[in-house]
């Protein structure tokens, strides 16, 4: 089954090789976390290649955003850890929150404050790196 899309506005057609790898790993981890009972439903992709400037990692097909506002702090940490471990050194995983957002104390070490409208996991090919499928 894999991760689901929040709606038809999420554009995955422009994902490059790194973005496609991200999607495949996200699908596998979503299924594994649901099977293990950590999550009750698949993860939801809220942003793909749409809605950002021309040089943004999303527009370039290098990044995906995943909804977390429906997850508990323990689930957010479990998903974050699973993705960091599964994606490896070629990727960055951030739990992005808005300035002034209330961050649960148990997630303070994960919070990356940025200009966002809702807390979410941001996954992307590491900045300045070109994805190499031979070295995932």
In the chain, domain spans: 4-125
For the segment 71-92, the average pLDDT, to the nearest whole number, is 96
Buried b (16+ CB within 10 A) or exposed e, 35-67: eeebbeebbbbbbbbeeeeeeebbbbbbbbbbb
The pTM assigned to this predicted structure is 0.93
pLDDT in tens, 48-63: 988 888 887 888 889 9
131 pLDDT tier (thresholds 50, 70, 90)? very high
């Amino acid at each position: 089954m894999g991760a689901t899309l929040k709606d038809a506005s999420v554009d995955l057609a422009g994902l490059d090789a790194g973005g496609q790898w991200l999607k495949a790993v996200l699908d596998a981890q979503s299924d594994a976390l649901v099977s293990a009972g950590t999550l009750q439903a698949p993860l939801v992709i809220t942003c793909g290649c749409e809605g950002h400037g021309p040089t943004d990692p999303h527009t370039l097909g290098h990044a995906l955003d995943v909804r977390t506002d429906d997850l508990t702090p323990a689930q957010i940490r479990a998903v974050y850890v699973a993705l960091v471990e599964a994606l490896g050194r070629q990727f960055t995983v951030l739990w992005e929150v808005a300035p002034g957002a209330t961050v649960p104390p148990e997630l303070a070490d994960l919070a990356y404050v940025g200009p966002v409208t809702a807390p979410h996991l941001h996954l992307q090919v590491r900045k300045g790196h070109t994805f190499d499928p031979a070295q995932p």
